[in-house]
C-alpha cells in the first residue's frame, strides 16, 4: 500500500464516519481503530504517516511483534481478539492501551490475579454477545450489567471503561441494528459506572453502528487495501 492509496482509504473512512456521527449529533465523537491483523508493519507505518494513530490486533504474539518493530512511532495499540489464559502474561507485558474483549468472569478473575502479581493495571471493555450467537464469546444482554458491576467491585487491577460487541452475523440490516441497539442499551446502563466507550462496528457496518450509538469502531479491510 502506497501513501496515495493510504490517504484515499483513510479519507474515505473518515468521511463516512463524519456523515454517520453528524446524523447522531454534532457533539458525537467517534474513535477509529485501524485493525492491522492482516497487514505488515510497512503498511501500518504508511497509514501512520497520513494520520492514523490507533491500531488493533487479534493475536497477542502479533501485537507484541508489531509494537516492538514500530516502537519509535507514537502509536496506540489495542488488543481486540479472544484472549486465551496462557497468553495473559504476554498481554500484560505488552501493555496495550485498551483490551476490548473481556468475555467471561473466569477470564476477568484470572487476568486480575496476574495483573496484581505484576503490580499492573489494564483498561478493558466488557464483550457482549448481543446477538446471542454460538460462534461468538461474550456476556448475554441479560447478564452484562451484573457482570460489569462484579468486575468493577472484585477486580481492582482491571479498569473497565466500556463495552464492545460484534454486530449480528446477518445480511439483514434490521438484525444487525437490533444487536447494536442492544449493546448500546447496556452501555447507557453502565455509563454511570464510568463507562466511556461503546466499541462496535467494523468495515461492513460501522456507519450503522455509529448511528446506533457506537463511539469507537474497528476498521480493517477498508483501510488496508
- pLDDT per residue as tens digits for the range 41-73: 999 999 999 999 999 999 999 999 999 999 999
Residue 73 lies in a domain: yes
Residue 161 lies in a domain: yes
| Residue 22 pLDDT | 96
Domain that holds residue 111: 3-219
Domain count, the chain: 1
Residue 224 lies in a domain: no
Residue 222 grid cell? 477498508
Residue 80 lies in a domain: yes
Which CATH number fits the domain that encloses residue 38?
A: 3.20.20.10
| Residue 132 pLDDT | 86
What is the rounded distance in angstroms from the CA atom of residue 134 to the CA atom of residue 159? Answer: 27
Residue 109 lies in a domain: yes
Kindly give the parts of the chain with pLDDT less than 70.
Answer: none
pLDDT digits (tens, 9 = 90+) for 20-49: 999 999 999 999 999 999 899 999 999 999
Place of cell 457482549: 128
Residue 113 grid cell? 490475579
Q: What is the largest CA-CA distance in the chain?
A: 49
| Residue 25 pLDDT | 94
List the alpha helices (DSSP H) in the chain. Answer: 3-24, 41-49, 60-69, 88-94, 105-117, 141-154, 173-190, 206-211
Residue 18, C-beta contacts closer than 8 angstroms, at least 6 positions apart = none
| Residue 134 pLDDT | 84
| Residue 168 pLDDT | 92
| Residue 135 pLDDT | 82
| Residue 19 pLDDT | 97
Is the CB of residue 122 less than 8 Å from the CB of residue 99? Answer: yes
Amino acid at each position: 500500500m502506497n501513501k496515495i492509496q493510504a490517504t484515499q482509504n483513510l479519507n474515505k473512512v473518515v468521511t463516512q464516519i463524519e456523515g454517520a456521527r453528524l446524523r447522531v449529533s454534532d457533539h458525537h465523537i467517534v474513535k477509529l481503530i485501524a485493525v492491522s491483523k492482516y497487514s505488515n508493519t510497512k503498511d501500518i507505518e504508511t497509514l501512520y504517516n497520513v494520520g492514523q494513530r490507533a491500531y488493533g490486533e487479534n493475536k497477542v504474539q502479533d501485537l507484541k511483534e508489531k509494537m516492538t518493530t514500530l516502537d519509535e512511532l507514537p502509536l496506540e495499540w489495542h488488543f481486540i481478539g479472544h484472549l486465551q489464559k496462557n497468553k495473559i502474561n504476554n498481554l500484560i507485558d505488552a501493555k496495550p492501551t485498551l483490551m476490548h474483549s473481556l468475555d467471561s468472569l473466569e477470564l476477568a478473575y484470572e487476568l486480575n490475579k496476574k495483573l496484581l502479581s505484576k503490580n499492573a493495571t489494564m483498561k478493558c471493555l466488557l464483550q457482549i454477545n448481543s446477538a446471542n450467537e454460538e460462534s461468538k464469546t461474550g456476556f448475554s444482554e441479560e447478564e452484562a450489567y451484573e457482570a460489569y458491576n462484579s468486575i468493577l467491585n472484585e477486580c481492582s487491577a482491571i479498569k473497565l471503561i466500556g463495552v464492545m460487541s460484534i454486530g449480528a452475523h446477518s445480511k439483514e440490516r434490521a438484525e444487525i441494528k437490533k444487536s447494536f441497539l442492544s449493546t448500546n442499551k447496556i452501555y447507557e446502563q453502565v455509563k454511570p459506572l464510568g463507562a466511556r466507550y461503546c466499541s462496535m462496528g467494523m468495515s461492513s457496518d460501522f456507519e450503522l453502528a455509529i448511528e446506533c450509538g457506537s463511539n469507537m469502531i474497528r476498521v480493517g479491510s477498508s483501510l488496508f487495501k
